[in-house]
């Protein structure tokens, strides 16, 4: 496979993983750049360190190019969504924790959907 094809696959994987992160309420753009930024210097380092060893270069480039998206994918899957974050820290991404049952509800809610308690409005 040509190096350009690996680059296209790498970028597509980074975009898909960033989309997963944004669906979970995280910054997909930040994750995209967090995957791309280390990949470029690592590829250059692998290329320079292997020198003229053309048998090992494609494998090294493939490993480096897909190591960053794999780490990003694991992070995106393991990341908590906004409901889980609100339950943990009290308020996050338009969600807040019910002061009676500690379940996440929308920030503008006046009644908890879990315990039917009246919620205090945040000013």
The residue extents of the domains of the chain are 3-79, 80-123
pLDDT in tens, 71-98: 888 888 888 777 777 777 777 778 888 8
The answer for residues whose C-beta is within 8 angstroms of residue 22's C-beta and 6 or more apart is: 28, 29
CA distance 45 to 38: 11
Q: Nearest CA to 46 among 12, 3, 96, 106?
A: 3
Residue listed under structure tokens 């308690």? 117
Tens-digit pLDDT profile for residues 11-45: 898 999 999 888 877 788 988 998 888 887 887 78
User: Residue 92: which H helix or E strand, with range?
Assistant: strand 91-92
Angle at 71 between CA 69 and CA 72, to 5 degrees: 60
| pTM exceeding the 0.85 threshold for the entire prediction | no
Task: List, in order, residues 6 or more apart from 63 with CB less than 8 Å away.
Answer: 46
């Amino acid at each position: 496979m040509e190096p350009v094809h690996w680059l296209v696959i790498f970028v597509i994987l980074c975009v898909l993983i960033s989309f997963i992160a944004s669906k979970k309420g995280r910054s997909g753009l930040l994750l995209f750049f967090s995957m791309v930024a280390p990949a470029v210097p690592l590829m250059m380092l692998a290329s320079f360190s292997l020198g003229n060893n053309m048998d090992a270069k494609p494998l090294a480039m493939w490993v480096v190019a897909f190591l960053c998206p794999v780490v990003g994918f694991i992070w995106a899957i393991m990341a908590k969504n906004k409901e889980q974050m609100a339950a943990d820290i009290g308020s996050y991404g338009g969600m807040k924790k019910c002061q009676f049952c500690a379940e996440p509800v929308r920030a503008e809610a006046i009644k908890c959907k879990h315990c039917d308690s009246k919620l205090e409005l945040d000013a």
